[in-house]
Amino acid sequence: MPRCLPTVRRAVRQKRQSSNARQSRPAVRTGPSINDAHEIKYFRRHSADDPEQETPARTYLSTCDANIRAKFRAALVAVAAAPPQKFAGGGYWEAMHGEMTGWYEVRCNGRNRSHHRLFCLIDLAAEGAGRPWLVVIAEMSKPFRTALSDADDKNIRELGSEYLARNPRSVV
């Protein structure tokens, strides 16, 4: 009998190890996770009176100084790679509050003390997306030490509703 004891111990140890391995396996993924790196997309509008399907944020970026454009793009890339929930904003990436809860803004300061903003949504439900999307929906510039009006916030939320109304999403 003493010879069997090491064999029994070995069998018990193996059973524990296989049980622990089974418990540590990740759950089956059914879609993108908020913790994955995000893909940057730009919202494309679909309107009957604009056959070219304008992209408000990209159009805005093309009119900005090269320095502002570079800061925005660098911030978006850093946030998307982090991913957004884990990104320490540093003043460039901020979650919004109040009626704008669920929205994020990328901030950049320009010449003459002007403030530039890109308004973004995180999209985990986009049809056919392999990764979550960081979608740039709208843009806004404002003078130093001023706040956006309720009407501005409403316009941004309306663009977000237009974006979310379609799936597959309308993006570039």
pLDDT of 147-160, one tens digit each?
Answer: 889 999 999 999 99
Q: Does the structure show a pLDDT above 70 at 29? A: no
Percent of residues, the chain, with pLDDT higher than 90? 52
Give the global pTM: 0.78
Summary mean pLDDT of the chain? 84
pLDDT of 61-102, one tens digit each?
Answer: 999 999 999 999 999 999 999 878 788 877 889 999 999 999
pLDDT at 151: 95
pLDDT at 132: 92
AA letter at 108: C
Q: Does the structure show a pLDDT above 90 at 128? A: no
pLDDT at 20: 57
Q: Are 43 and 163 in contact (CB under 8 A)?
A: yes
Q: Does the structure show a pLDDT above 80 at 164? A: yes
Q: Are 132 and 79 in contact (CB under 8 A)?
A: no
pLDDT at 3: 53
Between 48 and 79, residue with greater pLDDT: 79
Between 1 and 156, residue with greater pLDDT: 156
DSSP letters, the chain, are -TTHHHHHHHHHHHHHHHHHHHHTSPPPP-S--TTSPPEEEEB---BTTBTT---HHHHHHHHS-HHHHHHHHHHHHHHHHS-GGG---TTTEEE--GGGTT-EEEEEE-GGGEEEEEEEEEES--TT-SS-EEEEEEEEEEETT----HHHHHHHHHHHHHHHT-SS--B-
Percent of residues, the chain, with pLDDT higher than 70? 80
Average pLDDT of span 46-51 = 62
AA letter at 66: A
Interatomic CA distance for residues 17 and 6, integer angstroms = 16
